[in-house]
Structure 1
Amino acid sequence: MNPRTALSATGYGIRCARPVESGAIAALLTRAFADDPVMVWMVPEPSGQEGRIARFFRLAQHRQRPRAGGVRVAATDGGQLLAAALWSGPGRWKASAVRELATVPSYARVFGVRGLSRAASVQNALEEAHPHAPHWYLSTLGTDPAIQGAGVGSALVREQLAHCDRLGQPAYLESSKTSNVPFYEGFGFRVTHEMRLPGGGPPLWSMWRDAAPGR
């Protein structure tokens, strides 16, 4: 039985991630971002690349943990993780300066000397382009490659956007793949800006979605 057939047979649900799932979520996101242009550019050394990316996603989850519902997953009843999303609520997308400073040594171990300067340039570009109006921020979305195209990632996004619509609040994200832009456009996002990273880095696309009226 292929993974998609098995998924159809077992079904899945969407819920907040459990702290004990941090490693499994990091592994899932590492598989999902294995060919991501920006991630590969930030972690340029092939040796140990997979482990470094996994550590990055552990840090990303840790950054979200103080926020209720910051890490959400699609999972089967048996606990198999299928997709994960990292969301921040209005006014909560940026960590405090103290918290950012405290994580510098950890990020240095992830990226190394060469990659750290690239990661810093990505972070600076994201912060410079980030909108000031209150919004929900989708910083990360990843689906297990074995079931991509089965609609699980879509369900994970749709669940939060329904909440945004009920609250009358917009949403924002950056797409690091041009092929993902139409995917997000299908949810009502529109490209507002194309970011060009310094040093010949790959582009990113800022995307904004207004709350759907009457929902």
Structure 2
Amino acid sequence: MPTTYTSADPPQSRTVPYVRLATEKDYPQLIALGTRAFAKDPMLLYVGSVQQMSSFMAQVQGHTLAPSDEGSLRIFMEFVLYSTLSKHGRITVAAVPSDLDNNEMVASATYWLPPSKLVETRQATKPRDGAASMLGAWGVGGTARMTEDYLKKVHNIIVNSFKRRGFQESEVGSSAWYLNLAMTDPALQGRGFLSMLMREQFAHAPGQTYILETTTEKAKNQYLHYGFELQETFCAGEGQIGVDGLPATHENGAGGVKAYPMIKASAKTITPCKVVLTSNCLSAVG
């Protein structure tokens, strides 16, 4: 069973998977992990205007996307990482120890934004977060697809959900955590690593309200298990793309990519939180 270790545990005592805070030395591995984990994510395929997956032989060699598309996805993963860091986010990893040189491998990670630190759309204009590179990779069209066709819809659904609970948008407070990114290495999914990270976060900030959105049925069901409630669903790219995020065909239809905004309310009450357009919360679960 995966185990959560505290920072007080000496490295040599770690013989099973454990949770720890990410450090700067993890950043390259996190970017590479995100690029692998989200290579088939329908929403990012749509936003990145990916026309087709790579050939069978290329996928066998570990390249799900064409080089240019993979490069754009990597740039986006850099942006999400550094925008989280610039907002003093909390990045946790599930690490698997290795017998080689007392080393380890990051199997899963979560990027949490604490209350009052949500990433707004204007974050996409900050050079230090990699905004210029992201705009160059996605172009104006891709950026508009992310903000207008996806994030604004998420924003409206979450705000309306709070309004139905008696809160006004102008009253929003500062007690909600936002899951900016969650990912597990595709080769290591199904082993409980994401569950480790979620339990650790809930223990770190118990009784808090949490917000996320995800874009796959599998991830949605997993978050339901963690106590999140689905608010509404909507589709981005209707009439243009299929459910897989690729251009519409006879086989995949043109229904668009479904998104699932979700809230885990405090056990006592829902404290209103400022809901703003965020960089992205997508989940490649495990």
TM-score bracket, shorter-length normalisation:
0.7 to 0.9
Question: Contact (CA 8 Å) 1:83, 1:142: kept in 2 or not?
Answer: yes
Residues 156-185 of structure 1: CA deviation (Å, up to 9, x unaligned): 1111122232xx211111011022221111
Query: What residue number does 1:111 align with?
Result: 138
Question: Is structure 2 residue 36 aligned with structure 1 residue 31?
Answer: yes
Across the two proteins, how many residue pairs are aligned to each other?
A: 203
Residues 134-163 of structure 1: CA deviation (Å, up to 9, x unaligned): 311112110001110000011111111222
- Mapping 1:184-203, distance limit 5 Å: 184-200=223-239, 201-203=256-258
Query: What residue number does 1:150 align with?
Result: 191
CA distance in 2, matches of 1:58, 1:92: 18
Residues 96-119 of structure 1: CA deviation (Å, up to 9, x unaligned): 84x432254232122134423322
CA distance in 2, matches of 1:210, 1:35: 30
Aligned-pair Cα RMSD in Å: 2.4
Query: What residue number does 2:104 align with?
Result: 79
CA distance in 1, matches of 2:120, 2:18: 29
Shift of residue 69, structure 1, vs aligned partner: 4.8
CA distance in 2, matches of 1:130, 1:101: 24
Query: What residue number does 2:152 align with?
Result: 124
- Of residues 90, 105, 117 in structure 2, which corresponds to 1:70? 90
CA distance in 1, matches of 2:89, 2:119: 16
Query: What residue number does 2:17 align with?
Result: 12
Question: Contact (CA 8 Å) 1:85, 1:142: kept in 2 or not?
Answer: yes
Shift of residue 127, structure 1, vs aligned partner: 3.2
Question: Contact (CA 8 Å) 1:84, 1:142: kept in 2 or not?
Answer: yes
CA distance in 1, matches of 2:188, 2:121: 36
What's the TM-score once normalised by structure 2's chain length?
0.64
Query: What residue number does 1:101 align with?
Result: 125
Residues 74-108 of structure 1: CA deviation (Å, up to 9, x unaligned): 113423110011111112113484x4322542321
1:211 partner SS = coil
What's the TM-score once normalised by structure 1's chain length?
0.83
2:183 partner SS = strand
* Greater helix share, structure number: 1
Instruction: Point out where structure 2 has 5 or more consecutive residues left out of the alignment.
Output: 3-13, 53-65, 98-102, 160-171, 240-255, 269-286
Shift of residue 67, structure 1, vs aligned partner: 4.0
Question: Contact (CA 8 Å) 1:196, 1:204: kept in 2 or not?
Answer: yes
Shift of residue 128, structure 1, vs aligned partner: 3.2
- Of residues 201, 205, 212 in structure 1, which corresponds to 2:260? 205
Question: Contact (CA 8 Å) 2:88, 2:117: kept in 1 or not?
Answer: no
* Aligned sequence identity (%): 27
Query: What residue number does 1:170 align with?
Result: 209
Judging changes above 3 Å, is the alpha-carbon distance between structure 1 residues 185 and 176 closer, same or farther for their aligned structure 2 residues? same
1:117 partner SS = helix
Instruction: Point out where structure 1 has 5 or more consecutive residues left out of the alignment.
Output: none
CA distance in 2, matches of 1:54, 1:13: 26
- Of residues 160, 165, 176 in structure 1, which corresponds to 2:201? 160
Look at both structures and tell me which one has the larger radius of gyration over its CA atoms: 2
